Structure 1
Amino acid sequence: MYKELKQKQGQIAVIGLGYVGLPIALEFARQFKVIGFDINSERIAMMRRGEDPSHEIAPEEFEGRDIAFTNDPEVLRQATFFVVAVPTPVDDYKVPDLKPLQRASETVGNVLKPGDYVVYESTVYPGCTEEDCLPILEQHSGLKLGVDFKIGYSPERINPGDKERTLTTILKIVSGSDAEALDEIAAVYESIIRAGVYKAPTIKVAEAAKVIENTQRDLNISLMNELSIIFDKMDIDTQEVIKAAGTKWNFLKFTPGLVGGHCIGVDPYYLLYKSRQLGYDPQVIHSGRRINDGMPAYIATKLVQMLIKKGRAPQQTKVLVMGITFKENVSDIRNSKVADLVRELMKYSVNVHIVDSHASPNEVAHEYNLTLMDAPSSQYDAVVMAVGHDEYRKLDIAYFRSIMTAQPVLLDLKGLYAKEETQGIEYWRM
């Protein structure tokens, strides 16, 4: 397979051109002939113009690539090596939503040919590739695994907004349905990943490795969030505690905060779901999720209490929330816990203004039914620094004083500002 692709006698098709699929499609297109497929025609039009809908990739990165963007499934018949990189969200009840993955498997199954390879990159629970996706491929193609085609799993490790740890510099886990599949899939990825690949012994091991990466981070952050609640009741600065504890060589410096996005805040639910299917109800993982999901309500209540102590009725206050993307310096607003925080404040009838120069006002309105302002106004009773965009890090305390009322409150959720610099402002951080 690898030799055929290298000689451009076969083509790679990447299904799903989001923050994971597009970078890998463009990287493959340096050496191979690539089909970039997405069901969203508007996104396809943008990419044909050399524009990344996620605003992560510069226009020049599209230049000189052997890639054709399409939303026509029939074009996929030209491919022999398929990479599936579609979203794997959860629904309103925190249950894994496999519909995008199932539809992508149907699309690939309809064009699958003898000798083809299918590799999944979407984050799933262990067993999903072989138990949920493979039957769809076989049903729609009429082919059999191992006899007619091969499959594999190579979990994505894209970190949006990170300009140092990029796709090619991060070790890539690969796995295959048999030894030959593993070697061929590894060879394809090794050709673009400078950091090399790690060959997992089975597909399930590779799936499990990915899902626990983010589950581990989720649990560590949930511990810091719980500690921050405890220390706040003790009138102890959590950041100072972490700084002091960090002087020990084996202390892990995780910090409290809102846990959103489509990885850390979602992936643990996939492991919870599969575990419960098998008759075991995880206690630690579920507890961590409960704590992290509850932080927006905790922060909103904290702010309202601080305002009331100053004699401000919540319904007569105006609060500015700075940032609504799920992390700093990205435009992605999916699963933003800042949106949850805004809704919690609105439950108290607080008048909330939101600004974010990275987010799309249309996307925010569509996703959350919230309105982004072009710029802050003035006379705010409180400001919530919610996302640490670079431009926000450059702001000084004098700026906040200029847009706030007397006796203002600053909630610094990212710990961007030094406490000693906030004279004249009631300052609180997690």
Structure 2
Amino acid sequence: MACDTQTVVVVGLGYVGLPLAVALCKTTECWGFDIEAKRIAELREGWDRTGEINAERLSNSGLKLTDQPDACPSADIYIVTVPTPVNAENQPDLSIVMAATRTVAGMLDAARRPVVIFESTVYPGVTEDMCGPEIERLTGLKAGVDFFLGYSPERINPGDREHTIDRITKVVSGQDADTLERVAKLYEGVTSGGVFRAASIKAAEAAKVIENAQRDINIAFVNEITQIFEKLDLSVWDVLDAARTKWNFLPFQPGLVGGHCIGVDPYYLSHLATKLGKNPQVILAGRDTNDTMAKWMAEIALGDRRPASILVLGLTFKEDVPDLRNSKVADLIAELGADAAVTVHDPFADADEARHEYEIELDSTALDRRYDLVVLAVPHAAYRAQMDQLGQLVNEDGRFFDIKRAVPELRDTLGARYATI
């Protein structure tokens, strides 16, 4: 039951917006808006395709859902939680966030002195220099007078049941002191982790984009040393096992870096750097290493072999989530399939989405056959729970390639036919 008289509208009900909207319902009247009618219909039926909110919690939340902007009431706070991808040239694609900005502009009631908060990841300056002026242009209203801008970067980690929206520290910001406190008060009612008041909106925008850029660079370092050690016939996993015994060693692991954040956000930062006349060498070097990792992994998995049949287990960008956005497994499949037929299986991924996004057909019967090469690309718990069956997928003279060393126990049964990076 709402305990606050204000009304909030969340624009965009994906991995970020839906958990936030459900959490907000504990303290205020909240509406969830999404342009995808199918998504709204699913949520009304109690099904969240992202797997973040279960049917019971969604039903009991009291969240009001609509795909029609006119159905939303005048609100005190609007929160934009839409994707900010990159285009084919790895340049920031702000079209979705600007479209959402225009939608919000059509909803504003200046009499309520509303706050428009952006959670979408952007480079510093987008909220105040692009989104705010667009609202002013469309409405004739004045930012800081008739409506107010805030920014609170999303920190949702798909599939993470520990660092949920109601437990994490929320960075908040506003264009003036009063707006900052309004934003802070809103999020203080959402999370037990408290809020951190950033010095400015630009500081909050920058904090978000460097969080993921830093992680991307760290993974790139580990990916690079993995390639170096492979030339020495030295397992990077053995090296990491030893290095982790030092108290301040950062336990990053090699792998494919995809998803909607880590594989994208560094390009937002590098775009800004280039605009400012600074060559972002470290950021782009990390991106280049991670973006080419799929090709290197395919070469290692194939070795000198030319298998007639290949099975790739997992297509989502990380384990135990259905999220296919920017999955680098698709790149791996393309490299593996240059000279062989590749079968793809994933118990989480949506077959229609895989076909639409990557032209990849998922085979639900793939585990009923045997292959010359089996690549465990995404170690879903469902795979790890059936260790014996995984080993039986490999032909007598075949090979099992375990990218993340998720099932090292298979070495006991497969011997030299088990390999990893």
**Same-fold status (TM-score > 0.5):** yes
CA drift of 1:241 comes to 0.2
TM-score where L is the length of structure 2? 0.96
Partner of 2:405 in structure 1?
A: 415
Alignment of 1:154-193 (within 5 A): 154-193=152-191
CA drift of 1:402 comes to 1.9
- Is 1:350 the counterpart of 2:340 in the alignment? yes
Partner of 1:236 in structure 2?
A: 234
Is 1:332–1:359's contact at 8 Å kept on the other side of the alignment? yes
Q: Percent identity?
A: 45
Partner of 1:110 in structure 2?
A: 106
Question: How far apart in 2 are the matches of 1:424 and 1:245?
Answer: 26
Q: In the alignment, which of 384, 387, 390 is matched to residue 393 of structure 1?
A: 384
Is 1:84–1:120's contact at 8 Å kept on the other side of the alignment? yes
- SS of the equivalent of 1:320 reads strand
Alignment of 1:174-213 (within 5 A): 174-213=172-211
Partner of 1:38 in structure 2?
A: 34
CA drift of 1:77 comes to 4.5
Question: How far apart in 1 are the matches of 2:174 and 2:284?
Answer: 31
My pick for the range that moved more, 298-307 or 102-111, is 298-307
Q: In the alignment, which of 106, 127, 130 is matched to residue 129 of structure 1?
A: 127
**Aligned AA (1:290):** D
Alignment of 1:4-403 (within 5 A): 6-8=3-5, 10-114=6-110, 115-307=113-305, 313-314=306-307, 317-347=308-338, 349-375=339-365, 376-396=367-387, 398-403=388-393
Question: How far apart in 2 are the matches of 1:58 and 1:401?
Answer: 33
Deviation digits for residues 193-243 of structure 1 (CA, Å, limit 9, x no counterpart): 111100001001101111111101100000000000000010001001001
Is 2:166–2:193's contact at 8 Å kept on the other side of the alignment? yes
- SS of the equivalent of 1:248 reads coil
- SS of the equivalent of 1:144 reads coil
Is 2:77–2:115's contact at 8 Å kept on the other side of the alignment? yes
My pick for the range that moved more, 67-76 or 206-215, is 67-76
Change (3 A) 1:297 1:165: same
CA drift of 1:66 comes to 2.9
My pick for the range that moved more, 178-187 or 74-83, is 74-83
Deviation digits for residues 138-174 of structure 1 (CA, Å, limit 9, x no counterpart): 1112111111111100001111111122111110000
**Aligned AA (1:54):** T
Question: How far apart in 1 are the matches of 2:316 and 2:416?
Answer: 26
Question: How far apart in 2 are the matches of 1:363 and 1:421?
Answer: 37
My pick for the range that moved more, 166-175 or 54-63, is 54-63
**Aligned AA (1:357):** P
Is 2:123–2:268's contact at 8 Å kept on the other side of the alignment? yes
- SS of the equivalent of 2:13 reads coil
**Aligned AA (1:383):** V
Is 1:13–1:81's contact at 8 Å kept on the other side of the alignment? yes
Is 1:111–1:141's contact at 8 Å kept on the other side of the alignment? no
Is 1:15–1:21's contact at 8 Å kept on the other side of the alignment? yes
**Aligned AA (2:336):** L
CA drift of 1:306 comes to 3.8
Question: How far apart in 2 are the matches of 1:208 and 1:354?
Answer: 38
**Aligned AA (2:77):** F
Deviation digits for residues 283-310 of structure 1 (CA, Å, limit 9, x no counterpart): 0100000000001111112223241xxx
- SS of the equivalent of 2:60 reads coil
Is 2:394–2:400's contact at 8 Å kept on the other side of the alignment? no
CA drift of 1:271 comes to 0.3
- SS of the equivalent of 1:55 reads coil
**Aligned AA (1:426):** R
CA drift of 1:67 comes to 2.1
TM-score where L is the length of structure 1? 0.94
CA drift of 1:177 comes to 0.4
**Aligned AA (2:248):** N
Which consecutive unaligned segments of at least 5 residues does structure 2 have?
Answer: none
Is 1:382–1:408's contact at 8 Å kept on the other side of the alignment? yes
- SS of the equivalent of 2:234 reads coil
Q: CA RMSD in A?
A: 1.4
Question: How far apart in 2 are the matches of 1:344 and 1:60?
Answer: 42
